[in-house]
Amino acid sequence: MQLSREALLRAYRQMKVIREFEERLHTDIQTGEIAGFTHLYCGQEAVAVGVCEHLSVEDKIVSTHRGHGHCLAKGCDVNGMMKEIWGSREGLCKGKGGSMHIADIDKGMLGANGIVGAGSPIAVGAGIACKIDGKGHVAITFSGDGACNQGTTFEAMNMAVVTKAATIFVFENNHYSEHTGFEYAVGTQRDIASRAEAFGMKVWRGDGTDFFSVFETMREVLEYVRTPGNGPAAVEFDTERFFGHFEGDPQRYRGPGELDRIREFRDCLKNFRKSVTDAGVLDHADLDALDAEVLEAIEESVRQAKAADRPTAEDVLTDVYISY
């Protein structure tokens, strides 16, 4: 374990922020106070954080409909995000985007996306820009086992190889594309990375419930793609989705005891805690203190979101064009 104590605490905190942000939304959505469709990232935190802990603001990411985790891991403000999801005009996108369209260009976060598979072509463009600029920055696209079946993903993979874009395709296989199992919907079965390999990319695989697996894998992937001339790469992380496709999904497709089992044995936060305490690098007390701090931070974000200004009818008309 090469990470400093500070780096470990930071990584844990980032994952915990995502976890509690999503758990709180899961609760609050049931009150009916939050409008729209919400897709929670719980269970996949190690992927977003294990990837983004390597990135600077100059590196770009393109996210998905299940994007809160990617946004938080890339540095989007917790309060600004909570306000956005609550539909406030003080939100990161002034209440015009909502859960599925959170973006913060200054942080290198080029947008969550409501269209499955739409992000990868955008990340190819961002990766071409990184290549042109020649400063070793990269663009990362997150896709699930659903998006890996979209033609846009195939086009993007080929185009990235042809143009030698500095793009990384991160596939998060959480085993469900909406309500359908990957064993049915992904022709290559438990293997998405082999598709990227077939397009001519170097590929890696890792355990998406283990922060250290993700982090160490990404160290290699990033070193490769940041090297001029190498072009794109892909990585597949096997992970778990703790909630349904959307909030309100009755999840009748889950097996008996499945949710309890993955919460018990495939929880990245539990896995992290065990690793660092077994190794004696961090104490339970360190992590407990962070847990309490994060819970309070999320509570504060909800307080702020509830009190924040609501948008007005005039706000409908702004921000369509820069000039028209």
Partner 1 sequence: MPKMMYRNAVVTTIAEEMARDENVVCLGEDIVGGMGTPGGPEAIGGIWSTSTGLFGKFGADRVIDTPISESAIMGAAAGLALSGKRPIAELMFADFIGVSLDQIWNQLAKFRYMFGGKTKCPAVIRMAYGAGYNAAAQHSQAVHQILTGMPGLKVVMPSTPADVKGLLRTAIRDDDPVIFLEHKALYGMSGEVPDDPEFMIPFGHARLSRAGQDVTIVSTGLLLGFCEAVADRLAAEGIGCDVIDLRTTSPLDEETILDSVEVTGRLIVVDEAPPRCSLAGDICALVAEKAFAALKAPPLAVNPPHTPVPFARELESAYLPSVDKIEAAVRKVLAYR
Three-state secondary-structure class, residue 23: helix
Q: What residues from 35 to 64 belong to the interface with partner 1 (CB under 8 A)? A: 60, 62
* Per CB under 8 A, 324 contacts partner 1: yes
305 lines the binding site for partner 1 (CB under 8 A): no
State the sign of the Cα–Cα–Cα–Cα dihedral 287, 289, 295, 300.
negative
Of 59, 138, 61, 71, nearest in space to 100 by CA = 71
- Helix, strand or coil for residue 173? strand
Query: DSSP state, 144?
Result: E
* Distance in Å, CB of 316 to partner 1, minimum: 10
Using the rule CB under 8 A, give the single segment among 25-33, 93-101, 185-193, 252-260 that binds partner 1.
Answer: 93-101
Q: Which is nearer to partner 1, 99 or 239 (CB)?
A: 99
SS3 177: strand
Tokens 């100059």 -> residue: 58
Q: How are strands ordered across the β-sheet holding 60-62?
A: 60-62, 139-144, 167-173, 233-238, 202-207
91 binds partner 1 (CB under 8 A): yes
Minimum CB distance to partner 1, residue 80 (Å) = 10
Judged by CB, which is closer to partner 1: 134, or 257? 134
Determine contact, residues 142/172, Cβ cutoff 8 Å. Answer: yes
**Residue 170 CB, nearest approach to partner 1 (Å):** 16
Nearer to partner 1, 54 or 101 (CB): 101
User: 3-class DSSP state for residue 141?
Assistant: strand
Site for partner 1 in 157-186 (CB under 8 A): 158-159, 162-163
- Cβ-count burial of 98 within 10 angstroms (0-12 exposed, 13-18 middle, 19+ buried)? buried
14: closest CA among 57, 69, 56? Answer: 69
Residues in the chain: 324
Candidates 47, 139, 222, 233; binder of partner 1 (CB under 8 A) is: 139
Annotate each residue in 97-126 with x if it binds partner 1 (CB under 8 A) or - if it does not, as one string. Answer: x---x-xxxx---xx-xxx--x-xxxxxxx
Binding to partner 1 by residue 156, rule CB under 8 A? yes
Give the whole-angstrom CA distance, residue 147 versus residue 142: 9
Distance in Å, CB of 22 to partner 1, minimum = 21
Segment near partner 1 (CB under 8 A); pick from 16-24, 64-72, 185-193, 312-320: 312-320
Q: Which is nearer to partner 1, 158 or 275 (CB)?
A: 158
CA gap 97, 249 in Å, rounded? 22
Residue 50 or residue 121: which is nearer to partner 1 going by CB? 121
- Contact residues: partner 1, CB under 8 A: 60, 62, 91-97, 101, 103-106, 110-111, 113-115, 118, 120-132, 139, 151-152, 155-156, 158-159, 162-163, 318-324
